[in-house]
């Protein structure tokens, strides 16, 4: 029995219990994906990169290590041990810390701003449990055009994969490096491809000549997407839709523009569609929600019907 056997056993049991509690809470709250350690192979399958380069020894933030090549089922997102089968190995690493033994560097893959463990999962687990902020690592960089940040979860991978496909098809990241198009739900990039294809068709009719995909992509971005985004920013519409992105609103506004043109006339432009969309579909502000609640309560009790009347009149006007 080693000198620190009892203490390392306590440390492991505490870490393992925390992993269990986190998993139960995530299950109850419907957030299981947010506690999963990411699989390197799954990320590679979605993002797809062909080029890797050895960048050598680095001090890597432990918090930026979000996945593993082969042990992603053995630990959770905080690298807490989920399996008791890893106990003895985990305890040996923990004991090395007690004895102030220098451990060899871990081996990591770097993808965007995050890292995946090739070798050293238990070292990362113990380091994180002990509050170590940086760990020595030998790093191989995987080059991809899709940015990955430390808050990425398993449920984000589908949208990230769609983004990678879109960039490969459009080359927009090369044509317009400043682009920053992100969606909160899957399916958005497929719709963008349709928008670009339609834009390419009408641009060809207008010019009476074939239009290359590259020209169609830049023309769509400069003359369709960016003007709508400018309206979103100028009108502060994004603030009315919490947790959404400019790209989300672009699609919604363009759909709304089509609806308005079909219902009224072709004279409606994107700016008018954006304002109309925000007016009808934005969530009310906190103060507005309180005001409506008070008005509704007063109306039902008969005490503030006059105060509520202007709002009701406005609602009836909208109905017309």
- pLDDT for the residue numbered 105: 97
pLDDT band with cut points at 50, 70 and 90 for residue 299 = very low
Mean pLDDT across 118-132? 96
Q: Which two tokens stand for residue 201?
A: 């068709």
Rg (CA), the chain: 27
Q: Which residues, in sequence order, are CB contacts of 319 under 8 Å at separation 6+? A: none
Q: Which two tokens stand for residue 42?
A: 């799954």
- pLDDT for the residue numbered 235: 82
* Global confidence as pTM: 0.71
- pLDDT for the residue numbered 81: 95
pLDDT, tens digit (0-9, with 9 covering 90-100), for 171-197 = 999 999 999 899 988 889 999 999 999
In this structure, the chain runs to a length of: 320
Helix (H, G, I), strand (E, B) or coil at 143: strand
Q: Which residues, in sequence order, are CB contacts of 132 under 8 Å at separation 6+? A: 62
Contact 196, 256 (CB under 8 A): no
């Amino acid at each position: 029995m080693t000198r620190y056997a009892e203490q390392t056993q306590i440390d492991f049991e505490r870490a393992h219990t925390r992993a269990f509690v986190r998993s139960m809470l995530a299950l109850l709250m419907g957030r299981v994906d947010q506690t999963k350690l990411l699989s390197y192979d799954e990320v590679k399958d979605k993002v797809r990169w062909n080029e890797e380069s050895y960048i050598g020894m680095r001090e890597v933030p432990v918090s930026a290590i979000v996945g593993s090549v082969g042990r992603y089922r053995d630990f959770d997102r905080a690298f807490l041990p989920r399996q008791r089968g890893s106990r003895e190995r985990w305890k040996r690493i923990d004991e090395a810390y007690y004895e102030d033994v220098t451990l060899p560097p871990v081996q990591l893959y770097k993808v965007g701003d995050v890292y995946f463990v090739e070798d050293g999962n238990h070292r990362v687990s113990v380091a994180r449990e002990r509050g170590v902020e940086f760990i020595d690592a030998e790093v191989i960089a995987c080059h991809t055009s899709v940015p990955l940040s430390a808050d990425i979860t398993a449920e984000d991978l589908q949208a990230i994969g769609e983004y990678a496909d879109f960039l490969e098809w459009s080359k927009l990241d090369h044509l317009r490096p400043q682009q920053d198009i992100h969606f909160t739900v899957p399916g958005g990039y497929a719709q963008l491809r349709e928008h670009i294809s339609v834009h390419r068709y009408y641009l060809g009719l207008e010019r009476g000549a074939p239009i290359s995909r590259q020209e169609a992509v830049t023309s769509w971005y400069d003359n369709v997407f960016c003007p709508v985004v400018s309206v979103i920013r100028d009108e502060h519409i994004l603030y009315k839709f919490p947790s959404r992105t400019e790209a989300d609103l672009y699609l919604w506004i363009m759909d709304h523009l089509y609806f308005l043109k079909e219902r009224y006339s072709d004279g409606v432009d994107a700016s008018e569609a954006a304002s109309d969309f925000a007016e009808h579909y934005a969530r009310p502000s906190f103060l507005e929600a309180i005001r409506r609640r008070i008005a509704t309560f007063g109306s039902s009790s008969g005490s503030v019907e006059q105060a509520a009347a202007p709002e009701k009149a406005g609602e009836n006007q909208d109905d017309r």
